[in-house]
Structure 1
Amino acid sequence: MKENKFLAIYNEIVQAIEEGTYKRNTKLPSENELVASYGTSRETIRKALTLLAQNGYIQKVKGKGSFVLDMKRFDFPVSGLTSFKEVTEKMGKASTTIVYEVSTIYPDEYLQQHLQVTKKDSIWKVYRSRKIDGEKIIFDKDYFHQKYIPYLSKEICEHSIYDYIEQELNLKISFAKKEILVEEATKEDQIYLDLKEYPYVVVVKNFVYLDDASLFQYTESRHRLDKFRFVDFARRAR
């Protein structure tokens, strides 16, 4: 009966979220209030809240409570090599790119390892935020080997670096290796993203190669976790 009870509570709260009774970015009633409302135990309420969090309906923030997430997330392809501009155009969404920095640097040990360069190689560093529906929801930390990309400007980075690489430099971007993980938000994330109450970000690390297998780009694309779902298509090998 107890398991049936927590599932019934879970389904009722899901329905309330989907119907707009509990609106996105608002706080759910406290555990004590839910215990009293449903006439059940704290353990049962906690099991229902845990399931809600696991299925992406709420974010539990320590010391503050449970907040309703926006379930209208943007589909971001895991496989394939697609620029932000191409993704937003496909979604029919108006977007803005805010460029904070375009500079050349000498790489530290971390970048030397991830971009397979030496400490004497010159690297482009590009910091950008991506804004959709008035909110900064992606923070991109891009690093390009200057050997392959000799010139960049703020205007190029505001438009599309990939368009510039392919159309102006006539280079062919071929494939990428990707890593996806969830990390606690950093001070940089708090500056360059509208995080609201969300203490974590989804980080997509991209290692991007040209058609001659040259690694020319390393990117950390940091996403607000409530705004995206990462999708792929898989076919079983026969």
Structure 2
Amino acid sequence: MLKYEEIAQKIEQTIVDKKLEQGKKLPVLEHLMTEFQASKSTVMKAVSLLEKKGLIYQVRGSGIFVRKQKREGYIRFTNQGFSGELRRFNITAKVLELDIRKPTEEVAENLNIDLTDDVYYVKRVRYISGQTLCLEESYYNKSIVTYLNHEIVQGSIFDYISEGLGQKIGFSDMYMHINKLKREEAELLELNEGDPKLFVETIFYLNNAQPFDYSKVTYNFEQSQFFFQSTGYSL
């Protein structure tokens, strides 16, 4: 973890632990520089990271302030899905399939790879507090995500990619629609065939705009409460 990421994590933890409300002013940059023994540029990068995550906002000439947090029980979606957010919940996973295969045309197009390239295929059910949350099918470009095993995919694959493989995760494209559960989906999510589902397709990119993960996720409608937060507007 880089210095600015460590600082951002500590500030975020302070916000959470002290239950700071919207509008609460945080210490000025100079104070943060002294507290964390860091340069101004490093602290500013930490502040920028927190701002992108929707945890704070800055007012020129006034300071840094806490932003209103999500409602209790809601999961925040970010450009990295919700893997970081899930640390607040009791999350487990059951791995159904893990193998190396050739991509379909759909997968190859979304990952910008050839049909002869290899991908890791991961299929798993994720649980939140013992209840089914979602059914995931993910395809990882093996030239980027060079190794996966059952132990890794039972946890946070994104943590492994960023910390274990040293890759810099950038942004994502997300597509959503509402449909009805098919028989297999219903069985795995412990619901009834024909029940509603939220279906999300996401393409995740490294910070150099290279796609590395194409995921298709079917959510249990009974557990799916999500929170989206913009980080500003540009004209």
Scaled by the length of structure 2, what TM-score is found?
0.63
Q: Check the 8 A contact 2:75/2:86 in 1, yes or no.
A: no
> What is the alpha-carbon distance in structure 2 between the residues aligned to residue 177 and residue 123 of structure 1?
19
Task: Tell me which residue corresponds to 1:77.
Answer: 76
Name the CA shift for 1:170/1:110 in 2 (closer, same or farther; >3 Å): same
Matched, 1:163 2:163: no
SS at match of 2:74: strand
SS at match of 2:209: coil
Equivalenced residues, count? 164
> What is the alpha-carbon distance in structure 2 between the residues aligned to residue 192 and residue 184 of structure 1?
14
Name the CA shift for 1:237/1:168 in 2 (closer, same or farther; >3 Å): closer
Q: CA RMSD for the aligned pairs? A: 2.2
Detail structure 1 runs of 4+ shifted over 6 Å in the superposition: none
Q: Please list every run of 5 or more consecutive structure 1 residues that lacks an aligned counterpart in the other structure.
A: 1-71
Name the CA shift for 1:236/1:149 in 2 (closer, same or farther; >3 Å): closer
In the alignment, which of 101, 108, 115 is matched to residue 105 of structure 1?
A: 101
Higher mean alpha-carbon deviation, 118-127 vs 220-229, is at 220-229
Show the 5 A alignment for 1:9-158.
74-84=73-83, 86-90=84-88, 93-158=89-154
* Identical residues among aligned pairs (%): 23
Q: Check the 8 A contact 2:132/2:223 in 1, yes or no.
A: no
Name the CA shift for 1:117/1:134 in 2 (closer, same or farther; >3 Å): same
> What is the alpha-carbon distance in structure 2 between the residues aligned to residue 186 and residue 114 of structure 1?
24
Q: Check the 8 A contact 1:98/1:158 in 2, yes or no.
A: yes
Deviation at 1:196, TM superposition (A): 4.2
Task: Tell me which residue corresponds to 1:232.
Answer: 228
Name the CA shift for 1:73/1:228 in 2 (closer, same or farther; >3 Å): farther
Deviation at 1:237, TM superposition (A): 4.7
Deviation at 1:186, TM superposition (A): 2.1
In the alignment, which of 175, 181, 185 is matched to residue 185 of structure 1?
A: 181
Amino acid at match of 2:219: H
Task: Tell me which residue corresponds to 2:206.
Answer: 210
SS at match of 2:229: coil
Scaled by the length of structure 1, what TM-score is found?
0.63
Q: Check the 8 A contact 1:100/1:127 in 2, yes or no.
A: yes
Deviation at 1:166, TM superposition (A): 1.0
Name the CA shift for 1:196/1:190 in 2 (closer, same or farther; >3 Å): closer
